[in-house]
Every structure is written in structure tokens, then in C-alpha cells.
Amino acid sequence: MAKLLAIPAVRQILSKLALGEGEEAEVIEKIENSCIKFDHDKKGVLSPDEYFNVLKLQNGIECTKDEVKTVCGPLPCNRDGKIKIRDFLYLDIHSECAFVAMDRNKDGYITKGELKLAKKKMTMKEVDQVIKDYDLDKDGKLNYDEYLKSKEN
């Protein structure tokens, strides 16, 4: 269930753009194509700096190098510090950046509506169950501590 509270790195960065579902998928596809072009040695991996170049310089996504490095932090990397393109785009990660990305109105909580927006493929029944499972203070939403505890499960 905790996996349901994780989102891919690229979606964490795109979350501040408030894109619709179709728009977001289109932008992610453009970013994926840019990553593949930027992968000059064709190994399927890029460094956080290279992801920044793909996002900001090639696709005009407003972000900082530090932000990209922070978001990439929890992703598995090879000895050279490079991260698989597929992981950057599609591997769900559970991190502070993921929490912030899901907290659309920046009030410090993930509501049922915000969780549904972040995880569009979840049913409302699944959303209700996730909130119920991890909402320790029973206020109907998840604060950061509750979110962190969900990672332990």
C-alpha cells in the first residue's frame, strides 16, 4: 500500500506546473525522447546534471539543478552516479519531494483529492483505504509524519 504514496521523479518536478493528465503524459513523452537523444553512449542512463539539461534546456521546464539532484537522490544509480532513464521517468519513489509534489495546495497535508490527482489510476476506494491505513490522527488527510510512517510498511 505504501507504494501508492510514491510517484516518479519526473512527475515530482512537473507537479508545480499543474498540467492536466493528457498534457503531463505528453510532456513526459517529450522528456523521454530528449533523454534518449541526450544518452550519447546509448547505455540508458544519465546523471542528475544531464537530467537537468534535458528538463530545463531542452524542454523549458522551470527547475533548478539542486531540485533535480534532490528528486533523483532516492533513485538507484550505478557506480558513476548515473540513473536509468526508465527509473527517472517511471519508478515510483517515496520521498519528501514526492510528498511536496502531492501536496498541491502546500498546506502540509495530502488530502484524498490530492492523492487522487497524483495517482490518477487509483480508484477512490483505494484512495480512501490508503488514507484510512496511514491517517494516524484520524483527521482524514496525511501529514508528513504519517506519510513517512507509510514508507516503513
Residue range 69-78, pLDDT digits in tens: 999 999 999 9
CA distances from 24 to 32, 60, 84 (A): 12, 14, 20
Residue range 34-69, pLDDT digits in tens: 999 999 999 999 999 999 999 999 999 999 999 999
Residue range 118-136, pLDDT digits in tens: 888 889 999 999 999 999 9
- Give the span between the Cα atoms of 80 and 1, in whole angstroms: 32
Residue 96 domain boundaries = 2-152
pLDDT at 17: 81
pLDDT at 153: 65
Which CATH number does the domain housing residue 126 bear?
1.10.238.10
Q: Give me the number of domains the chain comprises.
A: 1
